[in-house]
Amino acid sequence: MGRTATFDRADAVRAARGVFWNQGYEATSIPDLEQATGLKRSSLYHAFESKKGLFDEVVENYLAESVRPLLARITSEEAKPDALNDYFATLASSISSTDRHPGCLLIAAANGPVGTDPVVSAAISGYYDELFATFRAGLGRARPHLTEAETGSQARTLVALTISALALARTNKTLALANLQAAQALLAVQD
């Protein structure tokens, strides 16, 4: 019979998330994960089976704790018509408030070899789909006069600006913020 885990799995995943988010999947080593989580290599492998298994849990944790709470502000029943604009203001504030913003864990993964892994690729595609559906909903609330085609087109533009901003956040804060300002300008245009 195996030993019972004596660590908090969620805490270990959160600690690993910080390392993967800051360094990227490929640059993160098992010793990095040992140091961050306080777990020995054997415990990491016993609990998560592999570095990739841990990363898969990190991705789900990232979506649940970092991405979806922000998106829920746009889609909740109590959301205001300007909730989508507030989303872009929140992203801009987050990027502006740190010297070095880590960008988006999923976008960073998409641009590395791990992005071709079927599980990670599906998570990235799902993230895009969630952004698109959320932005469509937010546009529907903010601009009910738009046609379905116009709403879809504007939602895709906002997704593209978001992904671009989050990809640039790590390396060029000015360009990232310019893309978020462009998203807000698009929302401000009166049809």
Q: What's the N-to-C CA distance of the chain in angstroms?
A: 67
Q: What would the pLDDT profile of 68-77 be if each residue is shown by its tens digit?
A: 999 999 999 9
CB-based contacts of 138, cutoff 8 Å, min separation 6: 74, 75, 79, 83, 84, 87
| % of the chain exceeding 70 in pLDDT | 96
Q: What would the pLDDT profile of 153-186 be if each residue is shown by its tens digit?
A: 999 999 999 999 999 999 999 999 999 999 999 9
pTM (two decimals): 0.90
Q: Is the pLDDT of residue 14 over 90?
A: yes
Range 157-167 burial, b when 16+ CB lie within 10 A, else e? ebbebbbbbbb
Residue 1's pLDDT is 45
Residue with tokens 């979806």: 68
Q: What would the pLDDT profile of 87-109 be if each residue is shown by its tens digit?
A: 999 999 999 998 878 889 999 99
